[in-house]
């Protein structure tokens, strides 16, 4: 019987076995890129809110401190979202008739909460605590980016596990003096690695062996 | 044969995908302040019944929690020890909660006022320099005229710390050379 395949198919077959490796690796890379992309993590995607609340105007423009509104960020796991009463501390008099603030006035009148859309949302099996990070010199802007420049709030980082572990494995490049935690404009000094290492000892930050152990975040 | 294996792998893929559920991500419990379909007001965080007292929060010490003497007069002394540490804490809290309206110097020309809020009096007028510590505490606790109350945003110990800092702030605007430590005074005199 005559040969069905030409001789050259032998080399084509060999090359395609070799090529399959690239295809598999390529597919793997594609999946990894997709799972880290902002399409999946929703990073840098500003959410629509019932009131167009702008950190850019309140923090960047007017210079208010995060703790005026996020009152529990220093003491508890949850940073706290301001109540309607807190908005009304100022908006009882300024922008008091603005249609932009109609939902806030409505909420004050009826007693129903304003329903903000969550921007950050870790899965239920991850434990996170603001107070410890604030107390050990991890600044808001390290995790949340330049909130003072956001007209609508977005999530700056992926919040994926490797992002958390990247810092927990070696916090020195990120740790800043405690009094700078709320400073949005803080930039690491040129000798950050030495400064950071000094602060890690001074603040008695737990060693990476503890901070990267699974039960720190999955408990 | 070929068709069978294609169908089989499709079925396996479908089964695997069907297994991708988000139950572990969205567990049947409430996150803080999450909405609830169960309660009529839509809140999972239940407002406490009126006059509920949290453990250890009976707040019956009128001096510490209301800034008033037994006779109902503003307290003339501090019910806490005023230390440098406390004053520093008070300064931090003042800059967060009061400076938006009263300004960092206490002039009453803060950012919110410049945007149209009623202008408060300066802390450096005689009437307020004479006012008792308990008076400032009461203004923060219950509000005053157009000023909102800060009872829920600032706890009582921090409100006292702010009063301590206010005293230092008032003093700073009336300071004379005699208030400056000798070595610093020498520097000032040399400079000016």
Assess if residue B52 is contained within a domain. Answer: no
Interface contact A123-B25, CB threshold 8 A: yes
CATH code, domain with B146: 1.10.760.10
A94: chain B residues, CB-CB within 8 Å:
112, 115-117
Please report which helix (H) or strand (E) contains residue B141, including its range: helix B133-142
Assess if residue B13 is contained within a domain. Answer: no
Quick one: pLDDT band at residue A118, thresholds 50, 70, 90?
very high
Q: Count of CB atoms within 10 A of residue A71's CB?
A: 22
Tell me, what's the pLDDT at B38? 92
Interface contact A112-B41, CB threshold 8 A: yes
Give residue B158's domain range.
78-187
DSSP state, A147? Answer: G
Shortest Cα–Cα distance, B165 to chain A (Å): 18
Q: What share of chain A is helix, strand, coil (3-state, %, to 5)?
A: 50, 0, 50
A11-67 pLDDT tens trace = 888 888 888 999 999 999 999 998 888 888 888 889 999 999 999 999 999 999 999
- CA B19, CA B16: separation in Å to the nearest integer? 5
DSSP secondary structure of A41-60: H-TT-PPP-SS---HIIIII
Residue in the block written with tokens 């490797």: A162
| Under 8 Å between Cβ of A108 and A155 | no
Is the minimum CB–CB distance between A47 and chain B shorter than 8 Å?
no
Assess if residue B28 is contained within a domain. Answer: no
Is the minimum CB–CB distance between A78 and chain B shorter than 8 Å?
yes
Q: Which member of A93, A111, A115 has the closest CB to residue B146?
A: A93
Q: Which member of B27, B32, B97 has the closest CB to residue A68?
A: B97
Assess if residue B157 is contained within a domain. Answer: yes
Interface confidence, given as ipTM, is 0.87
Report residue B7: phi and psi, to 5°: -60, -45
- CA A58, CA A69: separation in Å to the nearest integer? 10
Is the minimum CB–CB distance between A161 and chain B shorter than 8 Å?
no
Interface contact B112-A78, CB threshold 8 A: no
Assess if residue B34 is contained within a domain. Answer: no
Interface contact A92-B25, CB threshold 8 A: no
Assess if residue B5 is contained within a domain. Answer: no
Shortest Cα–Cα distance, A124 to chain B (Å): 5
Three-state DSSP class for B147? strand
What average pLDDT score do residues B111-140 get?
Answer: 96
Is the minimum CB–CB distance between B27 and chain A shorter than 8 Å?
yes
| Under 8 Å between Cβ of B42 and B35 | yes
pTM listed for this prediction: 0.93
Tell me, what's the pLDDT at B1? 54
What average pLDDT score do residues B165-175 get?
Answer: 92
Q: Count of CB atoms within 10 A of residue A3's CB?
A: 7
Assess if residue B60 is contained within a domain. Answer: no
């Amino acid at each position: 019987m005559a040969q069905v395949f030409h001789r050259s198919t032998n080399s084509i077959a060999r090359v395609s076995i070799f090529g399959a490796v690239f295809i598999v690796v390529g597919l793997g890379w594609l999946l990894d890129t997709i799972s880290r992309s902002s399409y999946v993590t929703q990073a840098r995607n500003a959410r629509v809110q019932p009131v167009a609340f702008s950190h850019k105007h309140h923090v960047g423009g007017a210079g208010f401190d995060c703790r005026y509104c996020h009152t529990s960020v220093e003491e508890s796991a949850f940073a706290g979202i301001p109540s309607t009463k807190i908005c009304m501390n100022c908006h009882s008099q300024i922008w008091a008739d603005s249609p932009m603030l109609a939902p806030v006035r409505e909420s004050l009148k009826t007693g129903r909460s304003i329903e903000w859309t969550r921007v950050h949302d870790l899965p239920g099996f991850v434990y996170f605590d603001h107070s410890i990070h604030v107390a050990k010199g991890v600044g808001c802007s390290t995790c949340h980016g330049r909130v003072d420049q956001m007209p609508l709030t977005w999530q700056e980082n992926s919040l994926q596990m490797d992002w958390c572990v990247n810092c927990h494995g070696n916090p020195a490049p990120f740790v800043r003096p405690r009094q700078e935690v709320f400073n949005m404009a803080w930039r690491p000094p040129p000798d950050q690695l030495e400064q950071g290492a000094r602060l890690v000892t001074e603040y008695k930050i737990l060693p990476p062996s503890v901070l990267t152990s699974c039960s720190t975040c999955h408990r | 044969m070929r068709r069978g294996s294609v169908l089989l792998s499709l079925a396996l893929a479908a089964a695997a995908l069907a297994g991708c559920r988000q139950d572990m991500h969205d567990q049947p419990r409430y996150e803080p302040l999450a909405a609830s379909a169960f309660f009529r007001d839509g809140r999972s965080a239940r407002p406490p019944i009126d006059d509920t007292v949290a453990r250890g929060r009976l707040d019956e010490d009128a001096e510490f929690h209301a800034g008033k003497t037994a006779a109902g007069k503003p307290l003339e002394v501090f019910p806490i020890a005023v230390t440098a540490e406390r004053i520093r804490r008070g300064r931090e809290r003042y800059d967060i909660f009061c400076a938006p309206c009263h300004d960092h110097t206490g002039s009453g020309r803060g950012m919110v006022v410049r945007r149209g809020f009623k202008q408060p009096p300066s802390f450096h007028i005689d009437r307020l320099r004479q006012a008792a510590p308990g008076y400032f505490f009461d203004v923060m606790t219950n509000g005053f005229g157009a000023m909102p109350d800060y009872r829920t945003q600032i706890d009582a110990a921090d409100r006292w710390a702010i009063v301590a800092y206010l005293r230092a702030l008032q003093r700073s605007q009336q300071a004379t050379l005699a208030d400056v430590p000798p070595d610093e005074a020498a520097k000032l005199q040399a400079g000016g």
